[in-house]
Amino acid sequence: MLSTNLKHLETDQETKEALEKNENLMICCGRMGPMCLPVYAIMEELESHYSHVALRDMDFDIPAANFIKRLPECSSFMGLPFTVYFKNGKVVAATSSIQNRAQITEILGRVFGKPS
Amino acid sequence: MEQVVIAGAGPAGLTAAIYTARFKLNPLILGGPVPGGQLLVSDIVENYPGFPEPVSGADLMDRFQKQAEKFGARFQSGAVEQISKRHDIFELDTGREKIETKAVIIATGAEARRLSIPSEKKFYGRGVSGCATCDGAFFRDKEVLVVGGGNTAMQDALFLTRFARAVTIVHRRDYLRAAAAEIDKVKNNQKIRWLIPWGVQEITGDTTVNGAVLKNTETGETRHVMCHGIFVAIGHDPKTEAFKDVVEIDENGFIIVEPGSTKTVTPGVFACGDVIDPVYKQAAVAVGHGCMAAIDVEHYIHRRK
């Protein structure tokens, strides 16, 4: 299990519900490694500002992560974490490997709108 | 008001945390983007004193943190984005909050250098990586390059032989900075080849990496080599940008401290570990610096009373 302050998605059912209940959803799927930790930390920081986006993480090594790994948008990914942005259940952006705050906020603003 | 805030939670910062906690200074540690520091990417650490059996970098750093917590050190996520001084008090801005403190220990370490060629950015996460232990498993039965000639490059190359069909070390100089013990292990591995002195000029591919254009740094000859992955291990740059208003920084970004101490030009601001060390860059050295910084802080705070 990931040790972050984000809400974790741990089962297929939780993932399904997160996709159904949230118009705007960001899932960061990774491990507790040096390429993933900075992304989780940025998400934790942004969570209170982006109240219109549900920010979730997911352990890369659990069966539920197959959902992320098998997305066509992630087929060329070869670096952790896999971060996927969903709008109304559909993928609108996806990134592989470490991202900085500017890169993440650029995508959040572009696909979900900036926080009011 | 904090007595001391330690920015960074690698070997230097955590050692400073252990010592300042034992001095009853109730330290607050801001872990930064990667608590644990660069050692987290080390699959095996064989040269840290006191560990005759290899230990992973993550396990070693976990032990450091537990030891600091045992003495009462407090940990918090976040990194210092800006520092200002008013009278004898420092205000640290993390972007989320402002923390006032009497003293600061800068132990923010260094971050991995990138090749800085346009194609690196394009393929980062799609074949280019800075972390073999994180991404090595994506390259099972594939051919990869490891760029660099230091200990990290040697360790990455060895680690990647667990997955990759072949590993080629590409290094632009005609000598290696790595320790002889690391070089020996690499030389004895049949899966590892060498391309020296060659540098990476361009990375090729469509959606993922399929090769690299290399240039011989002595003859100027170029060649295209096929590969699926490129692991970059060409050194680190100190992370000192946030502190430039209160410390003196040399042309390479390292904080200048008073010789034989961790004191910076600003009383109350101390620096230790890789942010002050352009030469050794070892965990064992950073630990010594962390200890020095804690003692320097204790003297500083004691004199203020």
| Phi, psi (rounded to 5 degrees) for A76 | -100, 10
CB A37 within 8 A of CB B34: yes
Q: How would you class B302 by CB atoms within 10 Å of its CB: exposed for 0-12, middle for 13-18, buried for 19 or more?
A: exposed
- In angstroms, rounded to a whole number, what is the distance separating the alpha carbons of residues B118 and A100? 17
Residue B77 forms contact with A (CB below 8 Å): yes
Residues 6+ apart with CB under 8 A from B281: B110, B236, B274
Active site residues of B: 131, 134-135
A34, A80, A97: residue with CB nearest B34: A34
Residue B54 forms contact with A (CB below 8 Å): no
| Nearest chain B residue (CA) to A49 | B96
CB B274 within 8 A of CB B15: no
Nearest to A96 by CA among A114, A116, A71, A76: A76
List strand residue ranges (DSSP E) for chain A, in order: 7-8, 24-30, 54-59, 82-87, 90-96
B135–A98: do the CB atoms touch at under 8 Å? no
Q: What count of other Cβ atoms lies within 10 Å of the Cβ of residue B96?
A: 15
- In angstroms, rounded to a whole number, what is the distance separating the alpha carbons of residues A47 and A41? 10
Residue B139 forms contact with A (CB below 8 Å): yes
What pLDDT does A82 receive? 98
Q: Which of the residues in chain A have pLDDT under 50?
A: none
pLDDT averaged over 10-residue windows placed end to end, chain B, 305 residues: 97 98 97 84 89 91 96 93 94 93 97 92 95 95 97 95 97 94 94 97 97 97 97 94 96 96 98 95 96 98 86
Q: Name the residue with tokens 């040697």.
A: B154
> How close does chain A come to B240, measured CA to CA in Å?
17
Q: Is the dihedral of CA B65, B68, B69, B75 positive or negative?
A: negative
- In angstroms, rounded to a whole number, what is the distance separating the alpha carbons of residues B247 and B275? 11
This model of the complex carries an ipTM of 0.90
A33, A44, A79: residue with CB nearest B77: A44
Residue B122 forms contact with A (CB below 8 Å): no
| Nearest chain A residue (CA) to B38 | A34
Per-residue tokens: B273? 């570990």
HSE toward the beta carbon, residue B21, CA cutoff 13 A: 21
Which of A4, A68, A78 is most worth mutating to test chain B (most B CB atoms within 10 A of its CB)? A78
A80–B139: do the CB atoms touch at under 8 Å? no
- In angstroms, rounded to a whole number, what is the distance separating the alpha carbons of residues B179 and B176? 8
Judge if pTM exceeds 0.90. no
